[in-house]
């Protein structure tokens, strides 16, 4: 069975210039129009029409997929790591033009070098993704701590009782006024009134 090479390009929107740069890089490698799949969709997730078709119906074991850079697969490092593992498990070679090591043509029997490069990429991307998550968590914690130091409160706002609440609620409980009158005197809505009654 003949092994084929496919090319994948992605731009986030109608960025024709960026798409042309990717396509020109493919043509320089001898790509045919029929073997190029492109998406004009965001890289924030993997659910893209062309890319999904590549993975589910077009690529076969032994085929090669060429991209201009790893972020064309996804902007998310964790997703890229997952995709590299997918290609490895399914026997699909990934070539990344911006990573010359992946572009090398090696004699038969030395495919282990590609395996090694792929494994290194997976490990590095996994580490970077982990560091990014830790960094985001740290920045969030520092941001919350800084905001708290400035007196900002988090969580649901505390319930504020009207200034005249105590005397109005006593009059209502004794039957001197109706709930409607109590709401009018305190200037609060029905739902808030009964919520405050429960808290009193």
Check 12, 69, 135, 200 and give the catalytic one: 12
What length does the chain have? 200
- Whether 191 sits among the annotated catalytic residues: the reply is no
SS3 7: strand
Query: Encoding tokens for residue 161?
Result: 């009782």
Q: CA-to-CA distance for 71 and 167, rounded, in angstroms?
A: 65
Closest residue by Cα to residue 76 from 64, 84, 68: 84
Helix axes 165-173, 179-186, angle to 10 degrees: 170
Residues designated catalytic? 12
């Amino acid at each position: 069975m003949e092994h084929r090479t496919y090319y994948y390009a992605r731009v986030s929107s109608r960025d024709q210039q960026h798409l042309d740069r990717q396509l020109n890089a493919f043509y320089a490698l001898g790509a045919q129009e029929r073997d190029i799949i492109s998406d004009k969709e965001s890289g924030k997730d993997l659910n893209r029409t062309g890319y999904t078709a590549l993975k589910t119906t077009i690529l076969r074991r032994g085929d090669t997929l060429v991209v201009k850079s790893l972020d064309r697969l996804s902007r998310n490092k964790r997703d890229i790591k997952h995709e590299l593992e997918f290609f490895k498990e399914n026997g699909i070679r990934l070539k990344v033009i911006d990573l010359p090591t992946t572009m090398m043509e090696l004699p038969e029997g030395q495919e282990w070098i590609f395996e090694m490069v792929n494994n290194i990429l997976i490990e590095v991307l996994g580490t970077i993704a982990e560091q990014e998550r830790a960094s985001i968590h740290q920045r969030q914690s520092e941001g919350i701590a800084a905001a708290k130091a400035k007196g900002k409160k988090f969580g649901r706002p505390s319930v504020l009782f009207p200034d005249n609440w105590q005397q109005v609620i006593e009059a209502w409980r004794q039957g001197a006024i109706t709930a409607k009158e109590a709401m009018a005197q305190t200037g609060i809505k029905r739902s808030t009134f009964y919520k405050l009654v429960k808290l009193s």
